[in-house]
A and B are shown apart, each in its own frame.
Chain A
Amino acid sequence: MNKRLLLALALLALLLPTVLVVAQDEVVTVTWWATERGRDTAATRDMHFTLARTFEESHPNIRVALSLYPSRGFATRVLTAIAANEGPDVFYHYFAPDIANQGFLEDLTPYIEASGAANNWFPSGVNRGVYEGRTYAVPRDAAAGFVAYNKDLFDAAGVAYPEEGWTIADFRALANQLTNRDADIYGVGAIVGGEGCMLWSPFSFNLGAEITSPDGRDVVGYMDTPETAAAMTWCLELVTEDQVTAPVELQDQFGELVFLSGNVAMQSISDWELAAITEQADFNWAVVAPPRFDENTEVIPWTDSYMYYMWNGSKHKDAAWQLMEWLSGPEAQRIAAEAGVWTPNGPAVYQELGWDTDPIRSVSYNQLINSERVPNYLRSQYFWDCVAGPLSDARVRWIEGGERDVAAMLAEGAVQAQACLDDNYGN
């Protein structure tokens, strides 16, 4: 009996290390699909692989199968795979938060609460992933909006540079002062469309207007208010009355970064455009915080982020979360920032790199630390189908049709947009 027991114990002692080694060596593979919508270069792609390999070094039981795709068609790639139950564990994209109601995203709230990861991120990055009180995404980066200006054009016109604390009235006055159409010089860059000025720029908030409710479900009561009509009128008057915006031909040639032409004195840009301007501008330039509404108000930051998502069909959710937490954490953020690919999603890395005091980066930093609001177009996944069209119609009717009753046009557009949103949300 004793001999048998001893034999059994001996066998167990022999097997135990093997079992432990097998358990320790059980490696899971997490799939991470990514794309780069901005500067898709070999350097940005290499940086992704650096991130994956660095993560693996500190997480030996997790392998990362990284797939990089061109941005064109990336959503089709991801959604087709998810529909076929073959989705990636982790991916990043640019969805509005209410994409969560489609049912394929993992609710990350428990993971975030347990890890306290959100404390590291700028406020807008946190808000950007929240839908109905639950968090479905974590910020890949953070970008703020501000105004870039061509110092050479200011010097040539003998005009003082704009300073933080300026107002939208100052902006307009400067745009008029600097415009010299005979010399092909324009005060303002790519907000020629009118609705562009209202959407993807810090003007959208600092003109005192909103287009949708915070949850993105309502436009009536937002898009049709006197404040929004006044804001839209202000944007459109820059084009037709003041004629200080870069002409369409110049914008067609340069795309969003018409500032690079050297013929534009000021342009609303974000961190996502900084790298291109740094590399390509052959004139002296600087940036300044966006103008506030008037002397009695504070500037309202306009910020944005790409977001990491976890597919709720993932078979390795804990490992996937570890990857997401690491990617949105300081180590990965520092690697990306130092590679010049993304701007950090939280203040710690800014401070560590000294960017919080850098003449250019600090402008962004000061916006990001005070950011709360999510841009209008990121509040509803149906925004572009329902709201952007009617908003654009008002611009076309003003510029091409010569109509001037913006309030009536926006009221009409708001009704259309609301009907479309209600239809999509099933109200």
Chain B
Amino acid sequence: MMAEATFRQPTTRKALLDERQIELVQKILGYTMLIAVAALLILPLYWMISTALKSPRQMFELPPVWVPNPLEFNNFVQVFQEVPFGRFLLNTIIIVALNILGELFAVTLVAYGFARIRFPGRSILFLLMLSTLMIPYHVTLVPRFILFAKLGWINTYLPLTVPAFTGSAFLIFLVRQYMMSIPFDLDEAAYIDGATRFGVFWRIILPLSRPALVLVVVFTFVGTWNDFLQPLIYLNDPNMFTVSLGLSFFQGARETNWNLLMAGSLLATIPPLILFFIAQRQLIGGISIEGLKG
């Protein structure tokens, strides 16, 4: 036994070393691949930053200039000189905030109705709502414009914000699916304790739906922040324009101010980035939960 044990020890150590070495190689390979893929994904962002800091001449140099010299920080100043970019940012933030508020208000209530309340015609209404997802936006462009024009809403923020308070069909569907995954036992327990229907919504369902609500916030934020067509259609006064419209001023049909466009785009990505970093954990949690239960 003794001899066997002594005999085996070096073999085990060697095997362990082999395993460690293999693990190390695997790790190195894994990280190398991850770094390579990450570099590939970061490349467009880097190019945007690099172009934002180039002079017009450097933008067109061959071979391409990766690190501009000198760094043209003045491009960022020029963005604000060429268009009222600060005003555009403020306008966009106001519109985004109202949209988030509206979507959260409408989506949660409607989704709760579809998910938790049994009423005649619920399935038909839900299908009807879902079918609106199939209508391309451009089909309704003119009728919507006529409606808002008749209401006297053109050149105001109302067409860009009020519809959010009726809820987006896609987001309602998303939140409804999430709410359906919450056990009904919780509602029943709350009812037994004397909670009203709104109380169950407010105290039980809404807090438990937080990951889905984070998605609502993120989707609404990104969608509204990047929206080009609606502000273009409904706004006349350049002082009321949004960031996406403002950036388009740098992009003519025959000529584009690439350095200013990139500098402006870089500035425009900062608020969404801040939102992402704040909501990162819940956002990823929300996506994974949606993936599992949705």
Across-interface contacts of A254 in B (CB, < 8 A): 60
* CB of A21 to closest CB in B, whole Å: 30
A231-249 CB contacts (< 8 Å) to partner B: 249
* Segment at the interface with B among A74-82, A119-127, A150-158, A310-318: A74-82
Whether B56 sits at the interface, judged by CB under 8 Å, is yes
Whether A37 pairs with B252 at a CB distance below 8 angstroms is: yes
- A84 is contacted by which of B146, B250, B254 (Cβ under 8 Å)? B146
* CB of A280 to closest CB in B, whole Å: 6
Q: B21-47 toward A: CB 8 Å interface, digit per residue (1/0)? A: 000000000000000000000000000
* Bound-complex Cα distance A85 to B147 (A): 11
* CB of B171 to closest CB in A, whole Å: 25
Whether A80 pairs with B145 at a CB distance below 8 angstroms is: yes
Whether B229 sits at the interface, judged by CB under 8 Å, is yes
Given known contacts A38-B254, A80-B145, A86-B154, is B60 in contact with A253 (CB within 8 Å)?
yes
Whether A76 pairs with B233 at a CB distance below 8 angstroms is: yes
Whether A68 sits at the interface, judged by CB under 8 Å, is yes
Given known contacts A37-B252, A37-B254, A38-B254, is B57 in contact with A280 (CB within 8 Å)?
yes
* Bound-complex Cα distance A33 to B235 (A): 12
Across-interface contacts of A253 in B (CB, < 8 A): 60, 62, 64
Across-interface contacts of B56 in A (CB, < 8 A): 280
Across-interface contacts of A42 in B (CB, < 8 A): 81-83
Whether B233 pairs with A39 at a CB distance below 8 angstroms is: no
Q: How many residues of B contact A (CB 8 A)?
A: 32
Whether B255 pairs with A38 at a CB distance below 8 angstroms is: yes
Q: Which residue of B lies closest to A69 (CB)?
A: B232
* Bound-complex Cα distance A72 to B142 (A): 18
Across-interface contacts of A70 in B (CB, < 8 A): 232, 245, 248-249, 251
* Bound-complex Cα distance A273 to B254 (A): 9
Q: Which residue of A lies closest to B146 (CB)?
A: A84
Whether B256 sits at the interface, judged by CB under 8 Å, is yes
Whether B228 sits at the interface, judged by CB under 8 Å, is yes
Q: How many residues of A contact B (CB 8 A)?
A: 41
Whether A39 pairs with B255 at a CB distance below 8 angstroms is: yes
Whether A20 sits at the interface, judged by CB under 8 Å, is no
* Bound-complex Cα distance A42 to B85 (A): 12
* Bound-complex Cα distance A65 to B238 (A): 12
- B238 is contacted by which of A68, A72, A273 (Cβ under 8 Å)? A68
Across-interface contacts of B90 in A (CB, < 8 A): none
11 inter-chain pairs at a CB distance below 8 angstroms, sorted by A residue, are A31-B236, A37-B254, A40-B250, A69-B232, A69-B245, A70-B248, A72-B248, A73-B232, A83-B142, A255-B255, A261-B62
Which residues of chain A have a CB within 8 Å of any CB of chain B? Answer: 31, 33, 36-42, 45, 65, 67-73, 76-77, 80-81, 83-86, 184, 249-250, 253-257, 260-261, 272-273, 276, 280, 282
User: 19 additional contacts, CB 8 Å, given A71-B248, A80-B233, A280-B57?
Assistant: A39-B255, A40-B251, A40-B252, A40-B255, A42-B81, A42-B82, A68-B238, A69-B232, A70-B248, A71-B253, A72-B228, A72-B251, A80-B142, A250-B62, A253-B64, A254-B60, A256-B254, A256-B255, A276-B255
Closest 3 CB pairs of A and B: A70-B248, A37-B253, A84-B145
